[in-house]
Amino acid sequence: MLQMPFYVSLIATFILEGIFELLFSLTISFQVILAAGCLISLYVRWCAGDASFSNMGPVSGPYQVGYKKIFLTQSKGKNACSVFYPVDQGAEAGDESPVFMFDYGQAQLDHWATIPPKLPKMLLRTLLNVTLPVLNRPQPSADFTKKKLTPLLFSHGNRCTRNLYFGLLREFASHGFLVISIDSHDGTCMFTTNGEKGDEVKYKVMKEGNDPVV
C-alpha cells in the first residue's frame, strides 16, 4: 500500500514513546517522526498516484469475492453492514461503481481528524479515493444455489470501521463464507450513520483518556 510510510511512522511513534516512558518515566512526544512519515507518504502518493489495494494479489480461495452494502432494518439501530460473498471466477460486477474503503467520504475522514492523535486532514484526505479489490454486487456463485452459505458475523475494533478489515474478510469469502461486517453504534466506530440517510453516529471519547463510551 502506498501509505505504508505513514503507518510505519505512526507505529514508530507509539513504540518510541512507550520505551521512553518505561525507561525514563518521561512523556515525550514524537510528532516530528509522525510528521516525517506523513510527508514521505504524501511524496509517494504524488509520485505514484492514489493509494490502492490493487496489488494485494489474488485471494487464496477458489472464488472471487463480491461486495454489497446493506443496512439492518429489523433492529433498533439501522447499522451499516458490508457483505462479502463468494462469486464464480470470471463473474462480472452487477454495479460498475467502485467500492470505497471510506464510503461516507469527506465527512468520515474529517471526523477522523478530530480523534486523538488528531492526524492532519491533508493527510487523511489522501485516503478518500482508496478502493477495495472486490466486485460490486455480482451474482453469488452458482455453487450456492444447491447448498447454504455459512455466515460469519464480524465486529470491528475500537476506532475502526467495518471495511478496515476487508483483507481478512475477503479471504474468508473466497473460501465460500458469507461474511457480514457491521458498523457498531456503541461509540467504538470511527464514523457511520443510522440508516442510509439517518443521523451520523460518531466515535465517542471520555473527557479524560481515549476510551470509548459504551
Torsions phi, psi of 72, nearest 5?
-65, 145
DSSP conformational letter for 148: P
Higher pLDDT, 183 or 56: 183
Residue 60: partners with Cβ closer than 8 Å, 6 or more residues away = 171, 174, 175
pTM here is 0.77
Q: Quote the mean pLDDT of the chain.
A: 81
Percent helix, percent strand, percent coil in the chain, to nearest 5: 30, 20, 50
CATH 3.40.50.1820 placement within the chain? 57-202
Q: Do 171 and 65 contact (CB within 8 A), yes or no?
A: no
Q: Is 88 exposed, middle or buried (0-12, 13-18, 19+ CB in 10 A)?
A: middle
Torsions phi, psi of 145, nearest 5?
-80, -20
β-strands 80-87, 150-155 pairing: unpaired
Q: Which CATH superfamily is domain 57-202 in?
A: Alpha/Beta hydrolase fold, catalytic domain (3.40.50.1820)
Strand partners, 201: 192
33-82 pLDDT, tens digit each:
666 666 776 676 677 666 667 667 789 999 999 999 999 987 678 999 99
Separation of alpha carbons 39 and 113, rounded Å: 17
Return the amino acid letter for 60: S
pLDDT category at 2 given cuts 50, 70, 90 is: very low
Our measurement of the distance from residue 1's CA atom to the centroid of its chain's CA atoms, rounded to an integer in Å, reads: 13
pLDDT value at position 129? 82
Taking only Cα atoms into account, the Rg of the chain, rounded to an integer number of angstroms, comes to: 19
For 157-183, what is the mean pLDDT?
A: 93
Separation of alpha carbons 174 and 15, rounded Å: 35
